[in-house]
Amino acid sequence: MSLNQADELNLIGAWQQDRWNNGGSEGIVTASSFDGGLTWTTNANTKSSICTGGTAANGGNYERASDPWVDFSPDGTAYLMTLSVDSNPGGFGTSPNAMLVMRSTDGGATWSGPITLKRDENPNVLNDKNTLTADPNDSDFVYAVWDRLVSPPGETPTPEAFENAIAFRGPVWFSRTTNGGASWETARLIYQPGTLNQTIGNQIVVLPDNAQFDGELVDVFDLILNVANRPPGRGFSIAVIRSTDNGATWSKNAITVDRHNTFQGLVVDPDDPNVATRVVRTGDIIPQVTVDPNSGAIYVVFQDSRFGPRSSIAFTQSLDGGLTWSPTIKINQTPTNISLGNQQAFNPVASVLDDGTIGVRYSDFRANQAFPAIEPLATDEFLAHCHPTTPSACTNAANWGAEVRTTDASYNMRQAPFARGWFVGDYVGMDTDGEDWLPFWSQPFGTDPGNAFVRRVGLVP
């Protein structure tokens, strides 16, 4: 979800419509608001797939689409990026797939035909987990980044292997526009983790152009190393690379933020002993990042199991453009006097108000009771915040609080689509108009397994 800084009453949200259980959806649908989120108009003509108006003529003739990302440039132009893919003959991820970008100059009411940033027809290649960032300092620049998973020749992977993101290698790929979306540069590799290693969850933030920073780009991602002799060692870590020239060049070596304890952080239904049906599919390997547009402080949140339950919300910050990072702390306010299974927290996202207050939204099971698996798995959304009264204030867990529940009533996670786990998405959206946060998420509602929700959340004393 993104808010138009040129017209703060204009918002756009995007989601997968009619998710398939083996990957992707019928297409990406957007909704736009022109009254600050009070009313919304949906748009199914995004041209991200055949079902959403994609044709051979406009370049969107793909059977499925996934991984929507939307952002506004300062001049009010909106950009939508999708992973679009065919599912036949070999299934999701084993047929032609592409990174597409669409543009809107009317607040999301209409979308242009897609521009293809990268297309692969090799069944051993999947472009995956894309994000898009409009440069807040210059409307000419927009940046797209993703991982490109490549499996060994002759070993066509299963869709499960692709979506679980364990591939032969998975470098970072990048493209940008320097003319406000009129054209995009040829996609290129910007970070190579090496054979048997990969990245996932790449997301670029842009630092302010002020006395301390010069609009540098910082790409944050999960670095997965399967080779023991590579620093920081085998396993998962949060890492960054940087650019000082609007993405023309990038640092060769990644900076390690911290280890990412995720193997034991798989979220599960706390009441279901059945291994086949208990998984709750979340963003366990996808860090989320935001930046204070005034101070340039970078904040990263992610799921981590180091704090006790299988999954807690972890936080770290950088005050020097991503060069160094604070010790990781737990910040979710989930009660600790309940069962460990119901303490699981997941799918965080962060954004910053104009006064520097950091808001982090997440889900947890605190309202759930120890019922059998046939009963509802009560799930809720919450937002906690911290105001950095000093630059290091929010590195102290005691300074996080004033939690707000953003769901009016608990929803039943077991009613969500089951796509190798109960699945409401592995990332969510949140933006701010400077005074309020605007979290945007999907949840079951009524008899429908998936509905898009948004809520305006102000500061709580």
pLDDT tens across 170-216, in order?
Answer: 999 999 999 999 999 999 999 999 988 999 999 999 999 999 999 99
| Strand pairing category for 64-72 and 78-85 | antiparallel
- Among the candidates 236, 260, 284, a domain finishes at 260
Structure tokens at 271: 């009441």
Structural domain of 367: 267-461
Residue with tokens 């509602």: 445
Q: What is the distance between the alpha carbons of residues 72 and 70, in angstroms, rounded to a whole number?
A: 7
337 and 386 in a single domain? The answer is yes
Tell me which residue of 374, 395, 390, 383 sits closest to 438, measured CA to CA: 383
Rounded to a whole number of angstroms, the CA Rg of the chain reads 20
250 and 399 in a single domain? The answer is no
The predicted structure's pLDDT at residue 273: 87
The predicted structure's pLDDT at residue 370: 66
194 and 271 in a single domain? The answer is no
214 and 247 in a single domain? The answer is yes
286 and 199 in a single domain? The answer is no
- Among the candidates 219, 242, 260, a domain finishes at 260
The predicted structure's pLDDT at residue 165: 44
CB 79 within 8 A of CB 132: yes
196 and 292 in a single domain? The answer is no
Structure tokens at 189: 């590799």
State pLDDT tens for residues 248-279: 999 999 999 999 998 666 899 999 888 888 99
CATH number at residue 62: 2.120.10.10
3-state secondary structure of 339: coil
83 and 173 in a single domain? The answer is yes
Q: How many domains does the chain have?
A: 2
254 and 273 in a single domain? The answer is no
Sites in the chain below the pLDDT cut of 70: 88-94, 153-167, 228-232, 263-265, 370-374, 461
Model pTM above 0.85: yes
237 and 272 in a single domain? The answer is no
The predicted structure's pLDDT at residue 276: 84
State pLDDT tens for residues 1-26: 999 999 999 999 999 999 988 889 99
63 and 148 in a single domain? The answer is yes
436 and 319 in a single domain? The answer is yes
In sequence order, the β-bridge partners of residue 452 are 442
Tell me which residue of 192, 210, 117 sits closest to 150, measured CA to CA: 192
User: Which letter, b or e, does each residue of 222-244 get, where b requires 16 or more Cβ atoms within 10 Å of its Cβ?
Assistant: bbbbbeeeeebeeebbbbbbbbb
The predicted structure's pLDDT at residue 372: 61
275 and 421 in a single domain? The answer is yes
Q: What is the distance between the alpha carbons of residues 174 and 386, in angstroms, rounded to a whole number?
A: 33
Q: What is the distance between the alpha carbons of residues 107 and 237, in angstroms, rounded to a whole number?
A: 37
- Among the candidates 220, 236, 260, a domain finishes at 260
Residue with tokens 């190579």: 192
The predicted structure's pLDDT at residue 155: 57
